[in-house]
Structure 1
Amino acid sequence: MMILIIVIALVVIFLLYGVSVYNKLVRLRNLVQEGWSSIDVMLKKRHDLIPNLVETVKGYATHEKETLENVTRARNLALGANSVEAKEAAEKNLNQAMMNLFAVAEQYPDLKANANFQQLQAELTSIENDIEKSRRYYNGTVRENNTAVESFPSNIIANMYKFEKSPFFELQNVAEREVPTVKF
């Protein structure tokens, strides 16, 4: 009789532990999704700002058609990217196109003095900072999630219920990790 009580107590303890680990994994997965949603919102704000920036530059730099088209094309590819990896690659291309756009804008003093352009530049800088904060939050939640998914004994529950590691959102080139400095 005593052995039966001990066995039942151990089973209950293991079940409670399993439920606790499962709930922790669900919470971590939801935090990762929340973090990604935050990045997605910031990227959308950035993507919405780019057409206004392109139009402003277009008025001053009419013969820079290729640069403007590259920015628009990169923006459209970034909007269409669905996975973390695809977004990462698309954002890398968009960052490069934006750097080229700002290099072109540097050649036009009237554009640099334009109040609308200065406002768009300030908004873009603010959004870039928000994107960086969102990336840090997302990557922190990914780290916690991945640690729980891979660590023993929570990895047993994770494997049973098909919890998976999440990809980090990071740039490949160390120089690209810096927020672009835009001076006009």
Structure 2
Amino acid sequence: MDTTQIVTLAVIAVLLFWGVGAYNRLVRLRNAIANAFAQIDVQLKRRYDLIPNLVETAKKYVTHERETLEAVIAARNQARNAADHARAKPTDAGAIGALVVAEQTLGGTLGRLMAVVENYPELKADQTLRELSEELTSTENRVAFARQAFNDAALDYNNAAQQFPTTLIAGLFGFKEAGMLQSTTQDVERQPVRVQF
């Protein structure tokens, strides 16, 4: 073997090792996204399990608010289905986007339910409802922390997949951009508070 062949084989070996390393890094980062979504999924399941109990407690007091109660359950079921689809494909931006929309709808209907609760002092005073509300608030905080971890994992993966030269391996093996989970709070809630006299 002459020097040219040795250099050529060395370059091919270096490129092969780099390609395998880049592929393995992308797989590791994609798996980190799946793990981060699993943490969100645990908290979402917990929230989805709390909501029917909250609605049942409210039913005792607000029988004529049936539309609100039914809307909460329908939004919960829609969000649960979206979470099931996202769980199957946590790196699919479309599935994550659908989950965000479903969670925003659920957040809106839960907000309407809490507004109804405010209008019924006897319901507001119900111990079970207070405990469920506190548990739901605690779960919302856990979802927020898990969402941040998911977004961090998705950002690391997207950065790795989009940087040159790793983008060559990502394109070659079908590593697609991962979706980010947006906050489930309504845009109205993000507006600054206005004080008018």
**Same fold, judged at TM 0.5 (above):** yes
AA matched with 1:122? E
Listed as ranges, the matches of 1:1-184 within 5 Å are: 1-81=2-82, 82=85, 83-171=95-183, 174-176=187-189
AA matched with 1:90? A
Structure 2 Cα separation of the partners of residues 7 and 78 of structure 1: 55
CA distances 1:5-40 after superposition (whole Å, capped 9, x unpaired): 222211111111111100000001101111122222
Aligned alpha-carbon RMSD (Å): 1.6
Following superposition, the deviation at residue 154 of structure 1 comes to 0.1
Structure 2 Cα separation of the partners of residues 126 and 90 of structure 1: 20
Following superposition, the deviation at residue 3 of structure 1 comes to 2.2
CA distances 1:137-161 after superposition (whole Å, capped 9, x unpaired): 1111111111111110000011111
CA distances 1:39-68 after superposition (whole Å, capped 9, x unpaired): 222111111100000011111112111111
Structure 1 Cα separation of the partners of residues 35 and 103 of structure 2: 20
Following superposition, the deviation at residue 94 of structure 1 comes to 0.5
Following superposition, the deviation at residue 177 of structure 1 comes to 6.2
Structure 1 Cα separation of the partners of residues 190 and 150 of structure 2: 15
Structure 2 Cα separation of the partners of residues 18 and 3 of structure 1: 22
Deviates further, 76-85 or 128-137: 76-85
Counterparts in 2 of 1:45 and 1:32: CA distance versus 1, 3 Å = same
Structure 2 Cα separation of the partners of residues 23 and 69 of structure 1: 47
Following superposition, the deviation at residue 106 of structure 1 comes to 0.6
SS in 1 for 2:64: coil
SS in 1 for 2:142: helix
Q: Give the gaps of 5 or more residues in structure 2.
A: 86-94, 192-197
Counterparts in 2 of 1:55 and 1:80: CA distance versus 1, 3 Å = same
Are the equivalent residues in 2 in contact too, given 1:171–1:177 (CA < 8 A)?
Answer: no
Following superposition, the deviation at residue 130 of structure 1 comes to 0.7
Give me the TM-score of the superposition, normalised by structure 1: 0.91
Runs of 4 or more consecutive aligned structure 1 residues displaced over 3 Å after TM superposition: 171-178
Structure 2 Cα separation of the partners of residues 17 and 45 of structure 1: 42
Q: Give the gaps of 5 or more residues in structure 1.
A: 179-184
Following superposition, the deviation at residue 85 of structure 1 comes to 1.5
